[in-house]
Structure 1
Amino acid sequence: MLGAGVFTGNTSQNGATVAALRNVAARLTLVEIHARYAAHGFDLQALYAGGRLGDSAKVTSAIGLAAPKSIKGGYVQAAYHAWTKDEMDFAPFIRFEKFDIDQQEDGANGIFEDPTGHDRVTTLGFNFKPANDVVLKADYQHYQKERGISSINLGLGYMF
């Protein structure tokens, strides 16, 4: 399977919630492409997304936070359905992610880019489906740039 999507539009709502954004277009354009291949118990996925925010300097000034000028990132993931029986499925996976958020700084007003907006993440985990509509998830994430930051995540999903 291969897919893609594009969005573009003005996002400032003509100052409806922040008066300083009146007459600021803040056009946001996003593009994404994704692929998935599944065969012989393997499930391979990849995704890339990127975008630009126009008028980011005006948005930064209006909201007092470093608005993103551009964003890009993606991941590749491989899973293997190691054990299946009836509705049950156990699939360990590994995912490699990279993201980069380039923010508009305003040094005169003390607004600077968030240093955590650029990183690489490795995730190792598993999904266990005891039934078709239920999934139990666990994973370990390691952030490469932010030394020492790792997390263990647990999740439960139900489709109704």
Structure 2
Amino acid sequence: MRYGLIACGLPDLPEREQRAVLERARATVLLKAFAGGGAEARKLEDQLFALRAGDELVVQDLSAFLRETDSLIRLLGDLMEIGVVVILASEDGSCTELSGSGATALLRALRGLANIPTRSEQPGRRRFSVFQIDYARRLYDEGRSLRFIGMIFQASPDEIWKVVNR
């Protein structure tokens, strides 16, 4: 399915313009990102977590995610890891997919700008507290996905599996 993401409240990206670009890019379901936190932000997080391999997420600009650079890098990495294709759509109707080696190079460049270590550069295995382990296991028992739990603890699904599978 092809989703579109509209950032609400950005003065340099009017919603009407974003909607027109996303419709030209044939986005069938439009999601809205709101500045700040609150229920709207949590709703968008839930919608993004529900994306599956093969889904496409169209944005006019990466600023539509309304995230700081480090958070944006993590989100894009997670989306690409599960097989979601992120597409940048321009006003003239052309689309550029963020996938493959081009996307990897972009994420590497953004990490360099934000001075964020890659997962392979991060020191050692993550240690979870007893309370985090208990909470992760309860979420898993309730049927939550490893990816969803991993987003809460900022850990990979493999790391979460090692925690809940003991």
TM bucket (normalised to shorter chain) is under 0.3
The structure where strand makes up a greater share of residues is 1
Higher relative contact order (CA 8 A, sep 6+): 2
TM-score (norm 1): 0.23
- Find the structure with the greater CA-based Rg: 1
